[in-house]
Amino acid sequence: MVALDRVHKWYGRVHALRGVSFELHPGQVAGLLGPNGAGKSTTIRILTGMIPPDAGHASIRAHDTLNQSLDARAKLGYLPESAPLYPEMRVADYLAFRARIYALDRSRRRPAIDRAIERCWLRDVRNRRIGHLSKGYRQRVGLAAAILHDPEVLILDEPTNGLDPTQIAQMRTLVRELGSDRTMLISSHILPEIEQICSRILIVASGELKADGTPAELIAQHGGPSRLIVEARCTPEKAGLILGLPQQSPCLTELSEGWTRIESPCAPHEPDPRERVASAFASAGTPVRELRLTTATVEDVFLALAHGREGTP
Amino acid sequence: MSVIAAIAGREFRSFFRLPVGWIVIALFLLLTGAVFATAILAPGQPATLRPFFAIAGWLLLPVVPAISMRLFSDEIRTGTIEPLLTSPIRDGSLVLGKFLGATLFLLAMFLPTLAYPITLWSLSDPAPDLGPILAGYFSLALLGMLNLAIGTLASACTSSQTLSFLVALFVMLGMLLIPSFPAHSLPIPAQRALEFVSLTPRMSDFARGVIDTRHIAWFVALTGWLLVLSTLALQSRRWR
């Protein structure tokens, strides 16, 4: 449906994309994550036909974005970052203009505009000038324009950038609704948003695709082991004895007032150790004030891959 | 074709939704009105618009770049070009649509000046000759379109409206100033080239009521080439 095959892009001497490849299947909603300057915008600009790749191929529904650009663009709806619009136009006039740009014939134009206005909750502002609308509404007008021709593929570049929390929540609901019946690629650097909306996450950094998978797969592959954290009222030696750890283990830290903190990595696929540990301390008559298992989040994975930090929780 | 009409229609209407369109019209009518009142509407003068059409190039000088500078520079600066360049439309259609929209606005701007020949008809006896007036308006439209094409190219090359305005203004000024250039000191081919791009002899012919197809072909061909170059300039943005 959407494919990038070993795509390279240079801006002068800067190698902005270094052989990025991925494929989105019909109905998939994927998030493109990356820090600023990672190559997100370049990836999107290549997919939308704004710029050509210097090497490799990009395609939308098997139409090459360079050689069959018009066919590829006809299948695509695109919301650029910060939704650039004509402030002097009224919402309905702008959507009518975009419907004509997408070559919708006269009979299909009106229903398409009404449908887009309904889906993007724009009924109250359909006759207002775009320049008088709030940023949240303008973003929705941009989105309505992108779905007018009912595209099979929708690409959104930072759809919630600059919105307030209420507008972000509305936009997120809207995007989730739109993703129910089409392939979507959403670029963002807001991790919780991507985690909530997308079933698949692509992480780019330094022009390379660093990770690709479901949130659970990314955490399993790149998140490092889970960690068991316990704080018990006993000496480190006794805690080590109860848990079967060596006496000088770096997992044991003595705290003030007779407490000891234990931070122990758990092997992948090991069953949840909390019940066993709680029983062990209870049998030894040792009070416990904290017992938890931490797992990596997508944010930990993102930081680890994008900035080279250690991916431990 | 419908796409070109949609782009032209939006462009045309946007001039009337923004102050710039009305200011341009007011400025043009002020200039032409001053010429009409001082050079044409004088007692004892022959009833002709010849002085008006003879300086038409100078009258368009400040207004056409103000129309053309918005065409692409503003869209590049604000990012509204992005939804257009990612829509299923050819770059050539985009250029042609915008050029036609601006041309329609220019023609709309000429409409109120029809008051001048109507005034002449009502005041002068004998009535003015219709031929030179029609030829004059025809030449004004051709000249306006050529100047708009120069402005379209300048606008497609930069995101700065100021730069686009200045480049169009100086190119138009250069074409008008060619007759004042001491061409006799140049080699013969350079003299011929200057003669070829000079507007003045062509505009003088039109002002006399002479419609020469060579002149029409010259205006149309040059306008067409400038639009092709504008399309290439727009396409080159994709490769930068």
Q: pLDDT (tens digit, 9 = 90+) per residue, B143-190? A: 999 999 999 999 999 999 999 999 999 999 988 887 777 777 778 888
Q: Are residues A201 and A67 in the same domain?
A: yes
Q: Are residues A193 and A269 in the same domain?
A: no
Residues of B in contact with A66 (CB under 8 A): none
Size of the A and B interface in Cβ pairs below 8 Å: 65
Q: Closest approach of chain B CAs to the CA of A72, in angstroms?
A: 8
A74 contacts B14? CB cut-off 8 A: no
Q: Closest approach of chain B CAs to the CA of A181, in angstroms?
A: 21
Q: Please, are residues A94 and A144 in contact by the beta-carbon 8 Å criterion?
A: no
Question: What residues pair up with A64 in beta bridges, in sequence order?
Answer: A59
From A186, A204, A221, the end of a domain falls on A221
Label residue B122 by pLDDT band (50, 70, 90). confident
Q: Are residues A100 and A232 in the same domain?
A: no
Question: Is the per-residue pLDDT at A311 higher than 50?
Answer: no
For B53, residues 6+ apart whose C-beta sits below 8 A from its C-beta are B132, B136, B137, B139, B140, B203, B206, B207
Question: What residues pair up with B125 in beta bridges, in sequence order?
Answer: none
B85 contacts A85? CB cut-off 8 A: no
Query: Could you tell me if residue A312 is inside a domain?
Result: no
Q: Does A10 touch chain B (CB under 8 A)?
A: no
Query: At A128, which CATH number?
Result: 3.40.50.300
Residue in chain B lying closest to A103 (CA): B3
Question: Is the per-residue pLDDT at A151 higher than 80?
Answer: yes
Residues of B in contact with A48 (CB under 8 A): 86
Of A84, A86, A102, the CB nearest to B87: A102
Q: Are residues A284 and A186 in the same domain?
A: no
Question: Is the per-residue pLDDT at B125 higher than 80?
Answer: no
Query: Could you tell me if residue A309 is inside a domain?
Result: no
Write the DSSP assignment of A188-216 as a string of letters: ES-HHHHHHH-SEEEEEETTEEEEEE-HH
Q: Does A78 touch chain B (CB under 8 A)?
A: yes
Question: Is the per-residue pLDDT at B142 higher than 50?
Answer: yes
What is the residue range of B17's domain?
2-238
Query: Could you tell me if residue A301 is inside a domain?
Result: no
Here the tokens at position B146 are 């050529």
For B88, the 3-state DSSP assignment is coil
Question: Is the per-residue pLDDT at B45 higher than 80?
Answer: no
Query: Could you tell me if residue A308 is inside a domain?
Result: no
Question: What pLDDT score does A313 carry?
Answer: 39
Q: Closest approach of chain A CAs to the CA of B89, in angstroms?
A: 7
Query: At A277, which CATH number?
Result: 3.30.70.120
Q: Are residues A42 and A172 in the same domain?
A: yes
A102 contacts B238? CB cut-off 8 A: no
A73 contacts B3? CB cut-off 8 A: no
Label residue B126 by pLDDT band (50, 70, 90). confident
- Percent above pLDDT 90 for chain A: 50
- Percent above pLDDT 70 for chain B: 99
Question: What pLDDT score does A308 carry?
Answer: 64
Q: Are residues A137 and A258 in the same domain?
A: no
Mean pLDDT of all residues belonging to chain A = 88
Backbone Cα Rg of chain B: 19
Work out how many domains chain A is built from and give that number: 2
From A171, A186, A221, the end of a domain falls on A221
For A308, the 3-state DSSP assignment is coil
B14 contacts A50? CB cut-off 8 A: no
Q: Are residues A107 and A242 in the same domain?
A: no
Query: Could you tell me if residue A272 is inside a domain?
Result: yes
Residues of B in contact with A74 (CB under 8 A): 88
Question: What pLDDT score does A312 carry?
Answer: 40
Here the tokens at position B214 are 């060579």
Q: d(Cα A122, Cα A105) in Å, to the nearest integer? A: 22
Query: In chain B, positions 89-128, which contact chain A (CB-CB < 8 Å)?
Result: 89-90
Q: Are residues A172 and A189 in the same domain?
A: yes
Mean pLDDT throughout A29-38?
A: 88
Q: Are residues A231 and A215 in the same domain?
A: no
Question: What pLDDT score does B83 carry?
Answer: 94
What is the residue range of A142's domain?
2-221
Query: Could you tell me if residue A45 is inside a domain?
Result: yes
Query: Could you tell me if residue A307 is inside a domain?
Result: no
- pTM of model > 0.90: no
Q: Are residues A127 and A273 in the same domain?
A: no
Query: Could you tell me if residue A300 is inside a domain?
Result: no
Mean pLDDT throughout B70-75?
A: 94
Q: Please, are residues A112 and A148 in contact by the beta-carbon 8 Å criterion?
A: yes
A100 contacts B3? CB cut-off 8 A: yes
Work out how many domains chain B is built from and give that number: 1
Q: Are residues A281 and A151 in the same domain?
A: no
Q: Are residues A241 and A148 in the same domain?
A: no
Sort B226 into a burial class: Cβ within 10 Å, 0-12 / 13-18 / 19+.
buried
Question: Is the per-residue pLDDT at A7 higher than 80?
Answer: yes
Mean pLDDT throughout B191-218?
A: 81
